[in-house]
Amino acid sequence: MKTRIALGKERQMEQAPDYEAWRIHALDLDTMNGMDVWKADPASPHYQYNLIQQRLINLRQWRKSGDWAQVVFALREGLQRNLGNLTNPELYKHTRVGTKYLIDEYLNEVVSTLNYLCDNEIPDFPYAQKLLFFRHTGQSFGRSSLMLSGGANMGMFHVGVIKALFEQNLLPRVVSGSSAGSVVAAFIGTRKDNELDGLFTGEAMDLKLWRRLGLREVVRQKSLMDGQEIERFLRKHIGELTFEEAFKRTGRIINITVSPVDKHQKPRLLNYLTAPHVLVWSAVLASCAVPGLFPAVTLMSKDRLGHEKPYLASTRWVDGAIQSDLPAQRLAELYNVNHHIVSQTNPHVLPFITNQSRKDDWTRFLTNLVKDEFKFRSRQMLQLASYGIDRGIVKNLLEGAVSIVEQRYYGDITVHPQVHMRDYQRILGNLTRAEFQEWVHEGELATWPKITMIRDQTIIGQTLEDCIIRLKKQRSSPAVPKRSGPARSKRLHAPESAAVAS
């Protein structure tokens, strides 16, 4: 009987229309399996629960006694992303929703205290000192980013991931995309929040961007697909915005990777800092230019008067995923990003992605060992094949293949689809509305089980960032609003059991 109920709940989870419905069924399953007892017990070998417990007790005592100087001192000194190993994925493999209640309570306490410090006048904590505290603490804590991989039509899975994060107020401001991921990144980076519904349903797109060339055109252009058709699609749906204009319009920081055809150039991460005047549609067109599939692209930009002109006219660019599918290092240099959520849909990568929700065991260890050995031998064979070849298309192809094999394709949290052979068969070609919506729902289903972990690992960083934004607005405001008690972040759910003690 219990097994039948559990199977029914799992089917309901797969058919859930939104996260809240999915979460209700997942919590029921956790309760049936006795996971409430596990959550209530703070002890675990996977994190320093004694350290977290003591910090929670101290913060509550100092806040209740009004010792704000000590609160500020403790937060400035002790706010670290992985304090006590809080980001350990093992803490999220036991249950479908949530983790230890102690972790929920600690994060709630930190977030509510930060909001209170930001939004209230506190003696001996003037505005200038307060802004410096949040800036320094935010710099020390770091930021999160969402990185969207390549994957052709599989990349529409990214839309579902973004929809799930957006609806839970968990979408990072920093988003990168390569190839298919660049299309999705550009769509959210050029639209305001109230304009995203059309993207999530597919109604904002005509979904026609693939057109095969005839044999004569293939020989002449040295590519199988019509680059003008995808350019038309991008211009129509992204518009003539530059990276700087997109940032000013939405506040989102989109980053698009492109790879050079010229060996004397290096891969570029295009954004409002590195290429403010480059047209976003042009960057996406280049990032999607898979060699042999689409022709190489000359980037376009706006001049001082707003007229369209070539950017680095003598240089052509191709698929960003070839050399920099997930530009983690460059994001760290530019934006202080030290935490990465990855939506991975690259067809050649998916067979090697490990399911993070599975507990470690011998089967998983042996599987990973075989996968790592295969990648290592593949890299050796590609390098061996390139010996003695100095130049030419074969040399370029082999070097590109080595670059693809050597890249890291996962993040601190990796979301990916469960693909089947039929998905590989429809990787190219125009999607129907129904197929697009299937990929979106697949992205949501893959993201919902990770929502708690994403929230727990990003909520402090997001709160620090939001507080800095609010403080900057207060600078131009004649008066700072006062509150009677600590503010609660709208992004953080209460623990999966009772409410947090205050």
Q: Over range 44-73, report the average pLDDT.
A: 96
pLDDT at 371: 52
Q: Is the CB of residue 95 less than 8 Å from the CB of residue 149?
A: no
Instruction: Return the minimum-mean-pLDDT range out of 105-119, 154-168, 197-211.
Output: 197-211
Arithmetic mean of pLDDT, 369-385: 53
Check residues 396 and 243 and name the one with the higher pLDDT.
Answer: 243
Residues 351, 160: Cα–Cα separation, whole Å: 21
When the pLDDT of each residue in the chain is averaged and rounded to a whole number, the result is 84
pLDDT at position 401 over 80: no
- Say whether pLDDT at 237 is over 70: yes
Q: pLDDT exceeding 70 applies to what percent of the chain?
A: 82
Give the span between the Cα atoms of 498 and 116, in whole angstroms.
Answer: 22
Q: Is the dihedral of CA 259, 205, 144, 16 positive or negative?
A: negative
Q: What is the mean pLDDT of residues 11-22?
A: 92
Residue with tokens 């900057």: 472
Provide the pLDDT confidence category of residue 158 given band limits of 50, 70 and 90: very high
Quickly count: other Cβ atoms within 10 Å of residue 55's Cβ. 19
Q: Pseudo-torsion of CA 423, 349, 442, 489, nearest 10°?
A: -170
Q: What is the pLDDT of residues 263-315, one digit of tens each?
A: 777 889 999 999 999 999 999 999 999 888 888 899 999 999 999 999 998 89
- Report how far residue 321's alpha carbon sits from residue 259's, in angstroms, rounded to the nearest whole number: 8
Picking from 243, 225, 400, 417, the residue whose alpha carbon sits closest to that of residue 324 is 400
Separation of alpha carbons 369 and 317, rounded Å: 36
Counting Cα atoms < 13 Å in the Cβ hemisphere of 242 gives 19
Show Cβ contacts of residue 22 under 8 Å, excluding neighbours closer than 6 positions. 13, 16, 445, 448
What is the arithmetic mean of pLDDT over 52-80? 95
Across residues 329-343, what is the average pLDDT? 95
Q: Which residues are catalytic?
A: 179, 319
18-22, 166-170, 259-263: the lowest-pLDDT one: 259-263
The pTM is what? 0.84
pLDDT at 356 over 80: no
| Per-residue pLDDT band at 249 (split at 50, 70, 90) | very high
Give residue 50's pLDDT: 97
Strands, E assignment, 281-368: 300-302, 308-310, 317-319, 337-343
Identify the residue with better confidence: 480 or 284.
284
- Is the pLDDT assigned to residue 19 strictly greater than 90? yes
Confidence of residue 101 (pLDDT cuts 50, 70, 90): very high
Roughly what angle, to the nearest 10 degrees, separates helices 362-386 and 393-406?
A: 160
Please give the residue that has the higher pLDDT: either 448 or 260. Answer: 448
CB of 124 closer than 8 Å to CB of 464: no
Q: Is the pLDDT of residue 453 over 90?
A: yes
Whether pLDDT at 375 is above 70: no
DSSP state of 494: P
